[in-house]
Amino acid sequence: MDLTREEQAILDGEEGESRQKAMELVTALGKIYGAEDLIDITSAHLSGASYKTIGDGGLKYLEDMAAGGAKVSVPSTLNPVGMDRDRWREMHITPEFAEKQLRIIDLYGEMGVQKTCSCTPYTGANVPSLGDHVAWAESSALSFVNSFIGARTNREGGPGALAAAILGKTANYGLHLDEKRKPTVVIDADIDGSVFSYSMLGQAVGMAIGTGIPYFRGISPETEEAKTLSAAMAAAGSVALWHAEGATPEAGSFDVSDLEVIHIGKPELEAAYSKLNTVDDVQLIALGCPHLTEKEMHQIAAFLKGKRKVNKDVEIWFCTSAEVRAKCPEDVKVMEEFGPVLADTCMVVAPIEGAFQRTGTNSAKAGNYLPTLCSQKAMVRDVSALLEVVM
Ligand code: F3S
């Protein structure tokens, strides 16, 4: 790889061990993927924040990085952690877990990372612009910023994103390059336009293509639909970028006339639904994957207002960012009659398997990960069908 004199000096250890380690990782990734050089980034979003997912090994890695003086050099945000910082007891979390989780957040803070822990930082804390090069982990968020905003990031892992954040640079390959952002398949979508239909569409497309860059026709996503679609395709397949005719900023730049066309309609959506639903009764209903936006908080509160929770055996969690929770006090009041509005955590990265075996969600992404990462049987329905379970 072509490194500048300054980059080579970092690699040679002239700026300390933590920057050297970061450069070793970023250049190693660059060599694997054929990057010719490094590129400056404007922001990073880091995964690897939950004690459940990184364990003691990850905690030790962060202790070492922080002790070595590692500091991020671009605005950087953090993914959801394993518990609400204040309300972890309501999540059946043990004090031992809580202590280690709080330590992880503090270590990221020492490195200069903003301690907002959300998978939707693009709605407030960390908003890239069209054409920005960034280094984002969190498959749903990076797909959203790639696709709906037109920023440029590869599918970074936790350590790779942290290394890039420390350097303010990443290896210049893959989705940072114009030619790698071209669509690979046209998806002719026939859905009803509800947010839940976008979730099932993403599941069906992920199942149909696995990987690639879909170019959608027949959809008009706004923020909530785009976040749901991004999350579902990233979980059911490994899609990190998609375009939608008339709706995403780069879609108009491609000629897709020679691409294969796949139709996704009722039979494919039903197959997606069947794959995700493995149980009909649940102990926990968890909404907010990806994290609830202000609009979704308003919608849920409006749906719940004046109703009562009758089935006390089923717990409900609403997951959002601390920022959104603070902006919606009236909604929170209504929602808290049904269950806690939890900040900066979610049903997948929290250790729910200690307390539950069957969980309901409206998210295809959570529907994929609840069985594999949380030993749950899953029920995946739209929000109103889920909430009616407890009324
Ligand atoms: Fe976010 Fe957790 Fe879903 S990190 S995308 S709410 S699995």
Residue 79: pLDDT band (50, 70, 90) is: very high
Mean pLDDT of 7-25: 96
pTM: 0.97
pLDDT of residue 375: 98
CB 4: neighbour CB atoms within 10 A?
11
> b/e per residue, 194-204, with b = 16+ CB within 10 A?
ebbbbbbbbbb
C-beta 286 within 6 A of ligand 1: no
End-to-end alpha carbon distance in the chain: 61
Mean pLDDT of 192-202: 98
pLDDT tens digits, one per residue of 234-280: 999 999 999 999 999 999 999 999 999 999 999 999 999 999 999 99
pLDDT of residue 81: 98
Which one, of 77, 70, 270, lies nearest residue 158 by Cα? 77
pLDDT of residue 145: 98
How far apart CA 52 and CA 62 sit, in angstroms, is 15
The mean pLDDT of the chain is: 97
Q: Which atom, in ligand 1's list, is nearest to the CA of 349?
A: 2
pLDDT of residue 147: 98
Q: 9 alpha carbon to ligand 1 midpoint, in Å?
A: 38
C-beta 289 within 6 A of ligand 1: yes
Q: Vertex 18, ends 16 and 22: CA angle to 5°?
A: 120
C-beta 348 within 6 A of ligand 1: yes
pLDDT tens digits, one per residue of 293-326: 999 999 999 999 999 999 999 999 999 999 999 9
pLDDT tens digits, one per residue of 28-62: 999 999 999 999 999 999 999 999 999 999 999 99
CB 384: neighbour CB atoms within 10 A?
14
pLDDT of residue 259: 98
pLDDT tens digits, one per residue of 128-152: 999 999 999 999 999 999 999 999 9
Q: Which atom, in ligand 1's list, is nearest to the CA of 139?
A: 5
How far apart CA 366 and CA 359 sit, in angstroms, is 10
Cα Rg of the chain, angstroms: 21
C-beta 141 within 6 A of ligand 1: no
Q: Which atom, in ligand 1's list, is nearest to the CA of 291?
A: 6
| Burial environment of residue 274 by CB neighbours within 10 A (0 to 12, 13 to 18, 19 or more) | exposed
Mean pLDDT of 171-175: 98
C-beta 366 within 6 A of ligand 1: yes
pLDDT of residue 92: 97
As a whole-number percent, the residues of the chain with pLDDT over 70 amount to 100
pLDDT of residue 55: 98
Atom 1 of ligand 1, residue of closest alpha carbon: 290
Cis peptide before 267 (omega within 30 of 0): no
Q: 119 alpha carbon to ligand 1 midpoint, in Å?
A: 6
| Identity of the amino acid at 260 | E
**What three-state secondary structure class fits 121?**
helix
164 phi/psi in degrees, rounded to 5: -65, -40
Mean pLDDT of 362-369: 98
Which one, of 302, 291, 282, lies nearest residue 324 by Cα? 291
C-beta 230 within 6 A of ligand 1: no
As a whole-number percent, the residues of the chain with pLDDT over 90 amount to 99
C-beta 140 within 6 A of ligand 1: yes
Q: How would DSSP label each residue in 44-65?
A: EEE----HHHHHHHHHHHHHHH
CB 59: neighbour CB atoms within 10 A?
16
How far apart CA 380 and CA 378 sit, in angstroms, is 6
Structure tokens at 86: 């204040």
